[in-house]
Chain A
Amino acid sequence: MSGGRILGIYAVLYLIFLYAPIVLLPIFAFNDATIIAFPLSGFSTRWFEALWGNAALGDAVGNSLFIAAMTAILSTLLGICAARAGAMADFPGKSGILGFVMLPLVLPEIIIAVSLLIVLRQVLDMQLSNWTVIAAHTLLCTPFSIAILNGAFQNLDPSIEEGAMDLGESRWGAFCSVVLPLVMPGIVSSLLIAFTISLDEFIIAFFLTGSNPTMPVYIWGLLRFPQQLPVVMALGTILVALSIVLLAIAEFYRRRGLARAGLKDSGGFL
């Protein structure tokens, strides 16, 4: 057997390892038993029905959607600024500043959580709310937005913008008529990625959430009650389906952006 074949088999096994937990999710979500274990009992949609009538969960989902939407918008706006600055001419301290802005990517999340908690609670004595979570999530998501938007901005031929200005557009006009349409796919995928990260983030949200829990914080609470677990499975199934749809859209836009710029696909979000 050739080396390529062995590697191929290994890669497929690795994919199975990656997908194993996710495959279990719908199995137990539709399983007609309270205990999450084999053997299976039979098909049921009652866990999904139970989700429907859960007002506390509804509130948590509402909070999370609001937080995720605000985070997506803020981090994408900050990402656009940084990516555009990064694509433009050098300025003093450029790499240092850009590196610092990207720092949350490699910082343990608990450090971000702890430091913000200290400032908000102990220094400023603020009430924790959805906005404290949004502030932290924006910090966390901005590096991802920058990474995605960097691709979009750096693929852009700088003379395209100069071309538009040369043909009579002002600086702002050139940005709107040429740059924005060309980086729009990057903006859309940045929005979606930041939204997805924020929606799922737990470690920071657990520290900074106020009296209204976010969805992951609510799920964390449910995990302690064995009889609630099938409901969590049902919720997880819906979330996974949603994530995949959002990601597929993000990927679609990313590829369209590449096609528009007439570039080869070099793969990956990061």
Chain B
Amino acid sequence: MLIAPPLVYALLLLALPLCAVVLFSFWTQDFMEVDTAFTLQNYREIWDSPVYLLLLQRSVFVSGMVTLVTVTLAYPVAYYISFNVAPAKKSMWIFLITIPFWTSYLIRVFLWKVILGYNGVVNSGLVGLGIIDEPLSFLLYNVNAVIITLAHAFAPFAILPIFVALEKIDRSLLEASRDLGEGRIRTFLRVTLPLSMPGLVAAVLIVFIPTIGDYVTPELMGGAGGKLIANMIQTQFLQLNNAPLGAALALVAMVCVTAIALVFIVLNRRWLRRQV
């Protein structure tokens, strides 16, 4: 009964539109009109074009790197907050970590440009300290800049689920492991890490999948060589007015990340089972 309003809303504005995307991807844009004859032409075009495949490849690589960097950097922080911070101060720490996330995304991305730019904070600092003579030009307008910026943007998304999973671990389990003769590191590997795995997996998914859809960061930070598939989708829709091709590109991108995410989940399950 009560679930009906949100369900109907999600059906109308999510499921139905997604179906429309699928349908559109099998149609073609014929000048100003959409030709509704079923065809695989869009998919063939994506498959045959080196540009789309390159963008797709680069997007998956960037998403993967962002996920790796974000989660690796985030885990120790989540661990520290859960295990080393006094209980009364934990929510303060979580609050501190979430604040930057709630500030304007566009401006945050732009500020990274200021930090990494030719006359930016890093270069001015290094030149000022006499470490380098000329500002470094490889900091901005490439894939690395995109990865740093996205890793920053998604930090709280990685920390929170890991933190929640670590908080749920019964501390006496760790004492039991020590009591049974394992050291700190083995205890971490055999007890803490496997038990926090649900949070880690959630963090990976919540970072990996959405990053594929971001076109702001590559647009501002990526330069010519750092554009991603989302930029192309945006261009197809808003500039080239080719919605069917854009829809096909969006679907291919989403299917790619979903498939990779599923493979990751399966591998993770297998790893956990081997641990036991």
Residues of A within 8 A of B (CB): 3-4, 7-8, 10-11, 14-15, 17-22, 24-25, 28, 35-39, 77-79, 81-82, 84-86, 88, 91, 94, 97-98, 100-101, 103-112, 114-119, 121-123, 135-136, 138-139, 142, 146, 196, 200-203, 206-207, 216, 219-220, 223, 229, 232-233, 235-236, 239-240, 243-244, 246-247, 251, 255, 265-270
Residue pair A24, B111 in contact (C-beta under 8 Å): yes
Q: Determine which of B3, B9, B97, B233 lies in contact with A114 in the assembled complex, contact meaning CB atoms within 8 Å.
A: B233
Residues of B within 8 A of A123 (CB): 20
Residue pair B160, A268 in contact (C-beta under 8 Å): yes
Closest B residue to A139 using CB positions: B13
Residue pair A203, B214 in contact (C-beta under 8 Å): yes
Residue pair B107, A232 in contact (C-beta under 8 Å): yes
Residues of A within 8 A of B108 (CB): 21-22
Query: Whole-angstrom distance between the alpha carbons of A35 and B125 in the complex?
Result: 17
* Given A139-B13, A267-B94, A110:B250 Cβ within 8 A: yes
Rank and list the top 4 A-B pairs by shortest CB-CB distance, nearest first. A108-B213, A115-B17, A21-B111, A110-B213
Residues of A within 8 A of B233 (CB): 110, 114
Q: Would you give 15 A-B contacts (Cβ < 8 Å), ordered by A?
A: A19-B100, A22-B103, A38-B124, A39-B124, A81-B2, A91-B3, A108-B209, A111-B250, A200-B103, A203-B214, A203-B216, A216-B105, A229-B110, A244-B103, A270-B160
Query: In angstroms, how far is the closest chain A Cβ from the Cβ of B247?
Result: 6
* Given A110-B234, A119-B17, A11:B81 Cβ within 8 A: yes
Residues of A within 8 A of B257 (CB): 108
Residue pair B6, A81 in contact (C-beta under 8 Å): yes
Residues of B within 8 A of A116 (CB): 13, 17
Residue pair B3, A115 in contact (C-beta under 8 Å): no
> How many residue pairs between the two chains, A and B, have CB atoms under 8 Å in the bound complex?
253
Q: Determine which of A20, A122, A219 lies in contact with B104 in the assembled complex, contact meaning CB atoms within 8 Å.
A: A219
Residue pair B247, A14 in contact (C-beta under 8 Å): no
Query: In angstroms, how far is the closest chain A Cβ from the Cβ of B20?
Result: 5
Pick from B48-56, B72-80, B137-145, B266-274 the stretch touching chain A: B72-80
Residue pair B6, A104 in contact (C-beta under 8 Å): no
Query: In angstroms, how far is the closest chain A Cβ from the Cβ of B168?
Result: 10
Residue pair B237, A122 in contact (C-beta under 8 Å): no
Interface of B is mostly: helix
Residue pair B76, A7 in contact (C-beta under 8 Å): yes
Query: Whole-angstrom distance between the alpha carbons of A139 and B214 in the complex?
Result: 18
Query: In angstroms, how far is the closest chain B Cβ from the Cβ of A152?
Result: 15
Residues of B within 8 A of A108 (CB): 209-214, 230, 253-254, 257
Residue pair B106, A223 in contact (C-beta under 8 Å): yes
Q: Determine which of B99, B103, B213 lies in contact with A111 in the assembled complex, contact meaning CB atoms within 8 Å.
A: B213
Counting chain B CB atoms within 10 Å of each CB, the highest count among A14, A146, A219 belongs to: A14
Query: Whole-angstrom distance between the alpha carbons of A216 and B80 in the complex?
Result: 35
- Taking the complex as formed, is B205 at the interface, i.e. its CB lies under 8 A from any CB of chain A? yes
- Taking the complex as formed, is B226 at the interface, i.e. its CB lies under 8 A from any CB of chain A? no
- Taking the complex as formed, is B155 at the interface, i.e. its CB lies under 8 A from any CB of chain A? yes
Residue pair B9, A139 in contact (C-beta under 8 Å): yes
Residue pair A78, B77 in contact (C-beta under 8 Å): no
Interface of A is mostly: helix
- Taking the complex as formed, is B195 at the interface, i.e. its CB lies under 8 A from any CB of chain A? no
* Given A108-B254, A122-B24, A203-B213, A268:B110 Cβ within 8 A: no
Query: Whole-angstrom distance between the alpha carbons of A255 and B14 in the complex?
Result: 33
Residue pair A223, B220 in contact (C-beta under 8 Å): yes
Residue pair A18, B155 in contact (C-beta under 8 Å): yes
Query: Whole-angstrom distance between the alpha carbons of A53 and B73 in the complex?
Result: 43
Residue pair A35, B119 in contact (C-beta under 8 Å): yes
Residues of B within 8 A of A239 (CB): 103-104, 107
Other 16 A-B pairs with CB < 8 A, given A38-B125, A101-B10, A232-B107: A24-B121, A94-B3, A100-B14, A106-B209, A118-B21, A119-B20, A122-B243, A139-B13, A142-B9, A203-B215, A207-B237, A223-B220, A244-B99, A246-B102, A267-B90, A267-B94
Residues of A within 8 A of B83 (CB): 4
Residue pair B152, A97 in contact (C-beta under 8 Å): no
Residues of A within 8 A of B240 (CB): none
Residue pair B163, A268 in contact (C-beta under 8 Å): yes
Residues of A within 8 A of B7 (CB): 97, 100-101
- Taking the complex as formed, is B5 at the interface, i.e. its CB lies under 8 A from any CB of chain A? yes
- Taking the complex as formed, is B189 at the interface, i.e. its CB lies under 8 A from any CB of chain A? no
Residues of B within 8 A of A270 (CB): 160-161, 164
Residue pair B9, A202 in contact (C-beta under 8 Å): no
Counting chain A CB atoms within 10 Å of each CB, the highest count among B121, B184, B257 belongs to: B121
Query: Whole-angstrom distance between the alpha carbons of A241 and B103 in the complex?
Result: 9
Q: Determine which of A4, A21, A88 lies in contact with B84 in the assembled complex, contact meaning CB atoms within 8 Å.
A: A4
Query: Whole-angstrom distance between the alpha carbons of A247 and B103 in the complex?
Result: 10
Residue pair A247, B119 in contact (C-beta under 8 Å): no
